[in-house]
A and B are shown apart, each in its own frame.
Chain A
C-alpha cells in the first residue's frame, strides 16, 4: 500500500488534535508515515502509532526553532525523498500552509489548501473544499506531481487504529536558505486554559453588541460553561475589546466547530466567511433583522445581557 506523509503539528511532543485527524484521513488513501520535527519525539511516537502511523520519521535540530519555516521544508523534502509517498498531508495552520507551499514548489507538485474532507479516487486523492463563504462545495485533485494537501481542523473525527509506529531518524541537510529568517525572540502566548479557537468543538463569539471589553467576561463565562473557545467579530477586535488572535472572519480565523454561538454579532459577509461551515449555528441579537439570523439553526431575538447569563446558568445547572 502506498505511503502517505503526515506532517506532525505538536508542542514539545504533545501532538495537536488536527494531526490525529490527518492520520485518520491519511488511512483512507494509504499508510500514514508521520514526520515529527523538533523535541519530544519520544512522547509523540506512541500517540502517532496509536492513530495509525506505520512509521515515525524524526529529526531534531536547533534550526527548527531558530529560523522560520524553511528548515522544516528541508526536513519534509528529505522525508519525501526517503519515502516517495502517494501524498503529503499538512495541517492548515498558518505555518502549515507555508511549509506546504514551499514544498510544492520544491518537489514540482500541485497543492490544495484548506480541504475539509479527503477520499481516495481513481486518479489520486480527492479533496473537498468549501468556498465563497461556504456557498459552494468543490471537489479537486492534484494532476501533477505528488499531491500536497493541507486539511482544516475538525475535518474528521480522530479514530485510533494502532500501527507499528517504528521510529526512524531522518537525515536532514539544511540548505543555504534555511537560516535566512532568524527568530530573534519568541514570547509564548499566555494560556487561557480554553481550547484553541480553530480546533474547538464549540465556539462562543462576541461582537459589537457586547459593547465593551468589560463585558467580554459574559461571553467567556458562557464559553467556559460549555468548554468552548472564545471568538470575536472584527468590530469587537478593532474596538480593542478582545485580542486579534481571537478574531473570526475573512481577515481573522476560519472556524468550523460543531456548534457556533454568535452573541451580539450582526453577521456581515466577512464574518460569515469565517464561520459559515459550522455544523450548528446559534445567534443571540437584539435586532431581528440582523443577517446572522438567515444562517441560524436557532436564534434568540433579545438582549444578550439578559439571554447570555441565563443560558450560562442553565448550562451550569444542567451539567450539575
Chain B
C-alpha cells in the first residue's frame, strides 16, 4: 500500500531583503523576492528520505499563497517531490495562522494522506504554531520539532530535543510531523531534477474547491488584528574602539558604567 506523504511548504519573503508592511498592515510582498522557506527544505528532505525507505510512496507538496508561491512548489518538485497542490485565491490575502491551518487541513484531506510533514516554523512569521493547529484540526497525533524521524510499520518515531530533555516519540499513522534544521542537510536540486520538475503536475485549488467561504479566511476572517506597526528608529551608532592592548579593560569599563558588573 502506498504511503501518501503531504509536505506543507511556505513561500516567504527573503529575510535578507528589506521587509515592510503594506498599507493594510499585512506583509508587503511586492518589494521583496520570495523563496521556499529554508526550514521547509528540511521537511522536503525528510519526506524524500522516508519515501526512499518505503516500498511505495508518493510525495505531494502543498502550499497556500499567491501566484508566485509556485516557485516554492517548483523548488520542492525539483528536489524530488512527485506532485504539487497550490491553494490560490484572492480572498486568502491577510490570512492568519489559524486560517492557514484551516486551509491546509482541508487541502490535506482533499489530497489524502498518511503522513504530513512541515518545517518547524516559517522563516517570516516564525510563529511555529501551524503544525500543531493542523494536527488538532485533522484529529491526528502531532510528532513535532523532530531532529530525527523515521517511518516503519505504520508508525512514525522521532527525537525531540527540548530545553530540559531529549524525548523519543512514537505515534501511529496518520500523523503530523514537523522537523527542525537539525534533521539533516537538504539536498540541492540536480539539473535532471529541475528539468523533471517542469513536467510534474501542479493542481490549483481555490476556496470553493475546499468547501470554504471567503469570510473564513483572509484579512476579514482573521481573528487577530494588527492596529499599529512602527518602524524602529535605527540604533544610534555605538562606541567602537580598536583594541590596542586595553580593549578588554575598556569594555569592562563600559559594562561597569552600565551596571552589568
Interface residues in chain A, defined as those with a beta carbon under 8 Å from any beta carbon in chain B: 11, 68-70, 73, 93-95, 97-98, 100-102, 104-106, 109-114, 126, 131-145, 177, 180-189, 196-198, 202, 226, 244-245, 250-251, 258-259, 269-270, 273, 280-282, 284, 288, 293-303, 306-315, 318-319
Contacts and interface: CB of A to CB of B under 8 A. Distances in A.
Given A93-B163, A298-B238, A145 B223 contact: yes
Given A136-B21, A318-B256, A68 B261 contact: no
Contact of B229 (A136, A301, A313): A136
Contacts of A136: 21, 229-232
Contact of A184 (B25, B170, B227): B170
Contacts of B247: 284, 300-302, 306-307, 310
Contact of A140 (B128, B162, B172, B227): B227
A105 B98 contact: yes
Interface stretch (B48-56, B71-79, B130-138, B189-197): B130-138
A181 B255 contact: no
B169 A177 contact: no
A265 B186 CA distance: 24
A95 B128 CA distance: 10
Contacts of B164: 11, 188-189
Contacts of B157: 184
A284 B172 CA distance: 50
A63 B28 CA distance: 44
Contacts of A105: 98, 101, 133, 136-137
Interface of B: 15-16, 19-21, 25, 38-39, 96-98, 101, 123, 126-130, 132-133, 135-137, 139-145, 147, 157, 160-172, 175, 180-182, 222-232, 235, 238-243, 245-252, 254-256, 258, 260-261
Most buried by B among A186, A284, A300, A318: A300
A112 B223 CA distance: 10
Nearest to A254: B126
A226 B260 contact: yes
Given A135-B19, A186-B167, A300-B241, A282 B254 contact: yes
Instruction: Tell me the interface secondary structure of chain A in the complex.
Output: mixed
Contacts, number: 254
A69 B167 contact: no
Given A110-B224, A258-B260, A259-B260, A310 B248 contact: yes
B132 A98 contact: yes
26 contacts: A101-B97, A105-B136, A105-B137, A110-B98, A110-B222, A111-B97, A113-B127, A136-B229, A136-B230, A139-B228, A143-B222, A143-B225, A177-B141, A180-B141, A181-B141, A182-B169, A189-B163, A244-B147, A259-B255, A259-B258, A300-B240, A306-B243, A306-B247, A307-B243, A307-B248, A311-B252
A245 B129 contact: no
A270 to B, nearest CB: 7
A292 B196 CA distance: 42
B223 A143 contact: yes
B157 to A, nearest CB: 8
Nearest to A11: B164
Contacts of A102: 132-133, 135-136
Nearest to B128: A97
Given A98-B129, A111-B224, A284-B247, 17 more contacts: A95-B162, A97-B129, A98-B128, A98-B144, A110-B96, A110-B98, A139-B227, A141-B225, A143-B222, A180-B141, A184-B168, A293-B240, A295-B238, A300-B248, A301-B240, A301-B242, A315-B252
A273 B261 CA distance: 27
Contacts of A141: 224-225, 227
A282 B224 contact: no
Given A111-B97, A135-B232, A251-B181, A182 B38 contact: no
B253 to A, nearest CB: 8
Contact of B261 (A69, A250, A315): A315
A228 to B, nearest CB: 9
Contacts of A284: 247, 251
A120 B158 CA distance: 42
Nearest to B237: A294
Nearest to B143: A181
Contact of B133 (A104, A144, A177, A259): A104
Most buried by A among B126, B137, B147, B157: B126
